[in-house]
Structure formats: C-alpha cells, structure tokens
A and B are shown apart, each in its own frame.
Chain A
C-alpha cells in the first residue's frame, strides 16, 4: 500500500518539526550558559562603579555590609583555599588508593559492590554533611585538641574531603582500567610485583586521566557551599590557620542571601561579584580538567 502524496508531506513535516523541537531542547544548554555568564557579569559590573579594583584586590578586609565598609576579596579567597586544600589532602590520597585497590586488586565482584557503595557517599545531601561536621566531627576533634573553635575550617575541610572521595576514586579508577592489559602483562612478565606494576606502570600511564579527576575535585571543593557555611563560620578572616573560623566565597553568598537586601544595594551587587569570581575559578579548573581528560582518552 503506497502512501498518498498528501500524507507523505504531513509525515515529512512531522519529522522536520520533531527534529527542530529536539534541537531547541539541546540548544537550551547554550542559552543557559550564556544566561549564567550574562546575569553574573551585568549584575556584578555596577559594583565596580563604587569600588575600585585597587580596593578589591588591595584591601585585606571584607565587610561590605558594615558602616565602615571594606571591599578586599582576599579573606574570602583564603577561606576558600584553606578549606579546599584540607579537603584535597583527605580526598586525593584516599581516593587514589581506593582507585588502585578497586582497579588493580579487587575481584570484579567485590568491585561491583564497593564502587556503588562509595558513590552513595556522594549522594548524601551536603546540608547533612554540614550538620555532621558541626555537631559530630568538630566536637570529636575538640576532645583531642581543645583550642579548636566551634566553627573552624579544619572540620569543614575534612568532611568535605570525605564527601569528594567518590569523585576522585571513580574517575581515577575509570582511567586506570582503560590502561591496556598488555602494559600490565609486560610489567608482570619481567617480574614486577602487582604494587610495582600499579604504581610504576598503570599509574603513570593513566596520569592525565587521574589528573583530570583531581582537578574536577578541586573545582567541586571550591564550589561546595553548605558544609563550609554551616561548619566553618561566617566571619571573613584573612588567615591561613585551619583551627580558626573563617568564611568562604560560597558561604558569603549564602549569608547575604539570607537577609533581605534591596536590589540596588552594594550588598546585593557584592554577591554577584563574588559569584562571578567563583564562576571564573571553577570554569578555569573545569576547562583544565577536560583538557587533561581529552589528552588521556586520545592516548589510548
């Protein structure tokens, strides 16, 4: 039974429309990206009409909402850096060891059980981790180290580290497993042990893939909000001392958003400035991570 020409046109029209609709849904991703960048920068630019770049990068105090305002971004940056570094000190070694264990040692059946369980760690809402850091980990640490203040960057950083272990271990394990078997067999055949093979053959071969896992973990830690807001405190402090309370860039945005600020106030504009900095920092690390990842997958 042949289709009549009329119904064929209708059919072709339908196909054409469906393709256009699907294209629109995919293109929305571009619209959203542009929307984010435009919104951040158009709302942030007016800030620099009242604050000079010298104040922004030269001052060591951040207090835009006080009667004696200071607009130095550094206290927020140090808060972010300290918590991120602590988190990485936890997540990178543990995540890497877990990845080597899962990819080189564990029986496939064991791996199939442990990997999803590890990923459950990343499924717990961050606000719950914040609660855990403030009301469980910090009091526990205070038992060994009484000088630790109730809000501190150490506890927040450690909990954040545990939270991002799955990101490091999952991506690194994928990279290590993609290393061709022949390399392992060659190494084992000349008498290397499993550990020597893992650390001196597999790890270096998968290095760019593993680097991309580390870099994505950095960007995750910089952008993490609730753990540091709840457990690290909300006082901007230009310090690198992890036992002190401090405020990260993300925590500042939350702190200001909780109040009700008028649209044209300096406080309202300041969260967009901080947000734009955050966006640029994570964008930098994301691009770096993707480049490393591309390099790795090209190699094999």
Chain B
C-alpha cells in the first residue's frame, strides 16, 4: 500500500517534470515562430521593393518612386558624430572608474548617475535635447544635435561594457607592469587597454546598433521626415577643403523614414516601410552577430 502510494507520487512528479520541459520547449518554438513571422513579413512585403533605385532615390509623394538615399546618408552622418563623441568619452569614463576612481562620495555619485542614465527612457533624452541643444544652445534639428543626443543615450552601454572588460584582467598583469617601472598611464595604454579591447569593441558595436535603430528621441528634437536633399559635403573644392556645414544641416534617418511610411494610411507606403524595416533589421542583426562572435572569439583566445 505504502509502496503503491509512493510510486504514484513519483509518477506524478515525473509527469510534472515532463510537462515543464514541454512547456519551455513549446515557448521557445513560439518565440522562434514569432521572430520568423516578423522577418518573413518584412521579406515578403519589402524584399521586392529593395533595388538600386530604392537605395538611391529621395523620398517622394509617390510611393513607387520613393527611396531611402537621404535616410541612409543621414543615418551614416549621425552615427559618425555619435562614434566620435561616445566612444572616447565612454572608454575614458570606464577606465577612470576601474583604474583610478578612489572609493569616495564623488565616485558613488558618478556610479549612481550612470546606472540611472541606463534606465532613463530614450524619449526623455529627446526632450532634454529639445530643451537644451535645440532651444538653449540653438543647434536646431541638425545632425549635430542628433549625434549629441544619441551619444548621450549610448554612453552608459559603452561605459558599463568597458568596465566589465577591464575588470576581467587579473591584477597580476598590472602589478607586473608597474613593477617594471611603467607609469600608471603606460600600464593602462600598453596592457589594460589592449587586453580588454575585445570586450570594449563588443560594447561599442552593441551601442551603435542600438543608436542606429533609435527613433523616438530624434522625432522629439524635430527631425524632419521629408528630406529630398543630402547634407553639405564635408569635402570642398576651395580652401580649407574641409567643411563642417553638414553638422548644421537638417536630416532624416532610416527609422524615422520607416515611421513616416508606416503611419500613412496608403498600402503602397507600407511596402516601403517593410523594405526600410528589412534594411534596418539586417543592419542591426548583423552588427549584433559580429559583436557576439567577437565576444566568444576573445573569450576563447585569452587564458590568464
């Protein structure tokens, strides 16, 4: 009798075990199907629209003639500014917090600020940019404002990944360098930084893939959607051959262009939106895959 009861109990537990495993596998399958549906929907609607003329035309009132040239150039220009600002500042802050920062009140404040910034919704960054960069500093809805906004937005990501990468380096490496008479900065430049480059690079790529898909903060600063011209060329024919006029030009970017097309009622524009979405997904997913491969590559290569 006892034995029978116990057997039934064991059977019940084993059944539960089986049910849980099935549920998790089914959920995984559902997620995979959702992801495939998203990609399939973009491909089936948008792939036929992607051709040379789509990539090299300006937006237009006629859906079939419209293209994403100005959005591509805008995205590239904004990304350029973002890289120039966010990468050095982010890495610098990461190095300071890991290698220099004393345990005091100011360091605590810096750390609290960074973790709070990471949780601020992106649209709030847009509002700050509107009030500060657009209105107070008078930069307007320009490439410069957009680059500033996005670099502030991705700064926490770069700082956090830089810190994580630097933290994995064992102290013995630092001590060995310092024992040979290097200064602190020489130790960082010649040892800490090169050894943590893999992790830092991964963080930068993930941060940029986030920035390239951001829409809300750029709408808030007043980025236009109908831009049928390119920003001024950075290279000029007259002295001094380099111009920064493009920084002040209005712009549009891929996600804003997509948002504009998806919010129109006409079906033909939805096709354009799907095509733009496909371009965006391909860009962001491949950036993330590169980042993941880099990360596992460096993890395997380095053995302390």
Interface of chain A residues 92 through 115 with chain B (CB within 8 A): 94, 97-98, 100-101, 105, 112, 114
Bound state CA distance, A278 and B119, in angstroms? 12
Contact B284–A195 (Cβ < 8 Å): no
Evaluate whether A126 and B101 lie within 8 angstroms (CB atoms) in the complex, with A28-B93, A225-B122 already known: no
A223 partner residues in chain B, CB cutoff 8 A: 120-124
Q: Compute the total of residue contacts between A and B using a CB distance below 8 Å.
A: 240
Take A250-B216, A260-B222 as given contacts and tell me if A26 and B92 are in contact as well, using a CB distance cutoff of 8 Å. Answer: yes
- Among B100, B120, B183, B222, the residue within 8 A (CB) of A36 is B120
Tell me, rounded to whole Å, the shortest Cβ–Cβ distance linking B225 to chain A: 8
Q: Does A63 contact B (CB under 8 A)?
A: no
A46 to B79, CA, bound (A): 35
With A22-B95, A124-B213, A196-B13 as known contacts, state yes or no: A29 contacts B113, CB within 8 Å.
yes
* Residue A207 interfacial (CB < 8 Å): no
Q: Are B124 and A279 in contact (CB under 8 A)?
A: yes
Q: Does B113 lie within 8 Å of A32, measured CB to CB?
A: yes
The listed residue (B16, B219, B263) touching A193 by CB distance below 8 A is B16
Q: How large is the interface on A (under 10, 10 to 19, 20 to 34, 35 or more residues)?
A: 35 or more
Chain A, 8-35, contact with B by CB distance < 8 Å: what is the 0/1 string? 0001001100110111011111101101
Task: For the complex, give the distance between the alpha carbons of A132 and B45 in Å.
Answer: 12
Given contacts A124-B38, A278-B123, A130 and B259 within 8 Å (CB-CB): yes
Residues on B with C-beta less than 8 A from A23 are 96, 100
A27 to B38, alpha carbons, bound, how many Å? 41
Q: Does A286 contact B (CB under 8 A)?
A: yes
- Whether the pair B117, A32 counts as a contact (CB closer than 8 A) is yes
Quote the shortest CB–CB distance from B190 to chain A (angstroms): 14
Would you call B288 an interface residue if the criterion is a C-beta within 8 Å of the partner chain's C-beta atoms? yes
- Give Cα distance in the complex from A268 to B262, angstroms: 25
Interface string of B71-111 (1 = CB under 8 A from A): 00000000000000000111011011100110000100110
- A260 and B206 CA atoms in complex are apart in Å by 33
Interface footprint category on B: 35 or more
Q: Does A165 contact B (CB under 8 A)?
A: yes
B8 on interface, CB distance cutoff 8 Å: no
Name A128's contact: one of B42, B124, B126, B159 (CB within 8 Å). B42
Q: Is B166 an interface residue (CB 8 A)?
A: no
Q: Considering only CB atoms, which chain B residue lies closest to A193 in the complex?
A: B13
**Which of B22-30, B48-56, B235-243, B244-252 forms contacts with chain A?**
B22-30
Q: How far is the CB of B198 from chain A (nearest CB, A)?
A: 16
Taking the nearest CB of chain B, how far is it from the CB of A9, in angstroms? 13
Most chain B Cβ neighbours within 10 Å, of A26, A162, A253, A278: A26
Contacts A21-B92, A35-B128, A136-B41 given; does A279 touch B216 at CB 8 Å? no
The interface residues of chain A lying within 8 Å CB-to-CB of B183 are: 11, 15
Q: Are B123 and A225 in contact (CB under 8 A)?
A: yes
Cβ of B143 under 8 Å from chain A: no
Q: In the complex, A237→B197 CA distance in Å?
A: 50
Q: A121 in the interface, Cβ–Cβ < 8 Å?
A: yes
Indicate if B37 sits at the interface (CB-CB under 8 A): yes
Q: In the complex, which residue of chain A has the Cβ closest to the Cβ of B260?
A: A258
Task: Verify if A226 is at the interface (C-beta below 8 Å from B).
Answer: yes
Residues of B within 8 A of A15 (CB): 183-185
A123 touches B215 (CB 8 A): no
Name which residue of chain A comes closest to B216, CB basis.
A225
Q: Contact check: which of A26, A42, A116 meets B93 at CB < 8 Å? A: A26
Output the nearest chain B residue to A40 by Cβ-Cβ distance. Answer: B127
Complex CA distance for A230 and B159, rounded to whole angstroms: 32
Indicate which residue in A14, A32, A131, A279 contacts B262 across the interface (CB closer than 8 Å): A131
Closest 3 CB pairs of A and B: A223-B121, A125-B213, A25-B92
